[in-house]
Structure 1
C-alpha cells in the first residue's frame, strides 16, 4: 500500500509534507496490527462483528417507490435496503465500520459534522436498541468515540490508496478527472491532518 500512497502524494505535491510525517506509520506493520486488531481492547472493549468493507459501493438503498406507492419512482430513499459484499466479515472494533465509511465516503465538512452531531445520536440509539432486546451495551460513549478515533487513523491512511482505485473506475473527460482528483486530494489532506491529531491524542508514545 505504501508505494501506491507515495505515488499519489508525488503526483499531488500538496500532500508530500504530510505524507512524510505519516511515512513511519505507513512502514510499520506492527502499527497497523495494533490499530486494526488490538486498539479497542487497550481501552477495555470486547470484539464486535464488523462488515469489514462498509462504504457506498456496498450499500443498496430502497427506492422512493417503497414508501409512496408510485412504482415508477426509482429515486433512492434514505433507508438502506441491503448491505452486500460480506467477504471481509470478522470480529473487531466497534469503531471500525464507521471509521471506514466516514473516511472513504464523506468530504471533510460532512464527516466532521457527522462526528460531532451524529455519532452521539448513533450511540444513544444503539444503546436503546440493545436494551430493548433485554441486553446491556457494556460500552461508554467515551470508549465508543475513542474506538472510532483509533480506527479512523488507519482508514484515513488507507484512503489515498482507495482514491487511486476511484480515479480509475471509469473513463471521464480530463476536466471531470481533474475535478475528482482535487476532491480526493483535499479529502486525503483533511483526513491525514485529523489522523495526526488523533494519533497524538490516542498514542502519544509515538511522539516522545
Structure 2
C-alpha cells in the first residue's frame, strides 16, 4: 500500500497501491525509490504527475535466479496538457528463491527416482534458497562499493535503489537500475563472441584488477568469501553430469564422466580459488558468471558487430579467487576454433595490459605469465562441466530457438570437455574418474 503523499503523485491515486505486473513491489514503491535515486526522474516530477506505469518481464521467464522487469513510466503535465507527455524507464531486478528452487528441480532431475530421498530434497532446496538470498545481497554490496567506478575501468549501469533480501522477514531483494535496453544489445549465445570483443572484455578486466590492487581500499574483500554454492557442489554437480549424459550420450558419456570428480567440492574450490594462492597470483574479485547474457554492448549506428561494452551485468555470483576464471568463462562463449585462437595469445594480452597499468602506478606485477597460464588451465577445466549444463538447459527451455542452434552449444561443450580431459591427464591425472 502506497502512502498518501506518494499516491498524490499519480493521476489516479488508487494506481499507486497496485502491484507492478506480477512483481513483488507496488507502483508506489518504485516511484518512491526513483525519487530518491534518480536526478532525471526527480526533475520530470517537478511539473508532472504519473499517468501510467507498466512492467514487462524482459527475461521472458527464463531468468535463473531472478526476474527482471522493464519499468516504463508515462507522465502528464500538471496543467493536464497530454500533448507534452514525457517518459522515463528503468530496469528492476527482483530475486525469487522459490522460483529458483522450481527451476533447479525441473532441470536437474533425480536420475535415481526409485531411491527414497536420495538427494535430501528438502535440505537441498533450503540451502538453495539461502544461497539465492546470499548472492543477491553480495550483488547489492558490490554495487554499493563500485557503483561510481569509472566506466572506462568497469562499465556498470547507474543504480537507483538497492534492497537486500531477508528470508526470515520475507523481505524481497530488489535492485532498480538504469535502463540500457534502447542503447545496448546482447550477443546471442549461439553466435559466439569475436576475437575483438574478447580483447575489449579482457582490457576491462585488467583495468578492474589494477583498480582493486592500487586505487581502492580493501573493503571489497569483505563482501565475498567462499564460492557461495560450494556446499552444494557434490550433489549439484553429480546430477548435472548424469543428466547431461542421459540427454546426449553420444557426445558426453565418455569424456564428461571422466570429469565427474571435477565438480566435487574439493576440486572446484581448488580451481576457483586455492590454485591462485598456490601459483602466487593475487586473490581478486571474480565476476563468476561472465558470459554473453551478462554483457551489454553499445549499439553501433550501422548495425555492425558491437565492440564497446555498455555494462557488465549480474554480479551475484562474485567471489574472491582465481582471476583467470573470468577469462576462461568468457572465451568459452566463442566457437571452438575462435577459443583455441584466443588461447594462443589472450593471456599474454591480459598480462601486458595489467603490467602496463601496474608499472604506471609504480607497482610490480608480482607473478609471471607462466603462473597465470597454470591458473587459467584449472579455471578452464572447471568451466567445461558448466558449459555442458548450460547446453542441456538451453535445449530444455529454449526449444523454440531451433535444433541447429542448440546443437551449436552442445558441440561447443563437447569439444571443450574433450580438451579438458587431455588437460586433466597432463596436469591433474588424480582428478580423472576412470
Measured at CA, do residues 169 and 32 of structure 1 come closer, stay the same or move farther in structure 2, by a change above 3 Å?
same
3-state SS, counterpart of residue 315 of structure 2: coil
The residue aligned with 1:51 is: 287
Shift, 1:53, TM fit: 1.1
| 8 Å Cα contact 2:294/2:314 also seen in 1 | yes
After the TM superposition, which residues 38-117 of structure 1 pair with which residues of structure 2 at under 5 Å, given as runs?
38-65=274-301, 73=302, 75=304, 77-103=306-332, 105-117=333-345
What stretches of structure 1 move > 3 A for 4+ residues in a row?
A: 73-76, 168-171, 204-207
What does the per-residue CA deviation read over 1:164-187, in whole Å, with 9 as the maximum and x for residues that have no partner?
233345451xxx532123212211
Once the 2 structures are TM-superposed, how far is the Cα of residue 75 of structure 1 from its aligned partner? 4.8
* 1:206 Cα deviation from its structure 2 partner: 4.0
1:183 alignment partner in structure 2: 408
* 1: CA distance, partners of 2:406 / 2:399: 13
Q: Residues of 2 paired with 1:143 and 1:181: CA distance? A: 36
Residue 371 of structure 2: aligned partner: 143
Q: Give me the whole-angstrom Cα distance separating, in 2, the residues matched to 1:24 and 1:126.
A: 33
Whose helix proportion is higher, 1 or 2?
A: 1
Deviations 1:11-55 (A, max 9, x none): 2122211122222334x3222122222122122222012111111
SS of the counterpart of 1:110? helix
In structure 2, what is the equivalent of residue 70 of structure 1? none
Normalized against structure 1, the TM-score is what? 0.83
Further displaced range: 138-147 or 191-200: 191-200
Question: Hey, what's the Cα distance between the residues in 2 that align with 1:156 and 1:171?
Answer: 22
Counterpart Cα distance in 2 of 1:19 and 1:56:
23
Q: Structure 2: how far apart are the matches of 1:171 and 1:191?
A: 23
Q: CA–CA distance in 1 between the matches of 2:291 and 2:341?
A: 18
Q: Distance in 2 between matches of 1:59 and 1:206?
A: 32
Task: For residue 125 of structure 1, report the CA deviation from its aligned partner.
Answer: 1.8
Tell me how far apart the structure 2 counterparts of residues 90 and 182 of structure 1 sit (CA, whole Å). Answer: 32
Partner-residue secondary structure (3-state), 1:49: strand
Instruction: State the match for 2:347 in structure 1.
Output: 119
Q: Which residue in the other structure is 1:68 paired with?
A: none
Aligned length: 195
TM-score, normalised to structure 2, is 0.42
* Closer/same/farther in 2, CA of residues 126 and 46 from structure 1, 3 Å limit: closer
Unaligned runs of 5+ in 1: 66-72
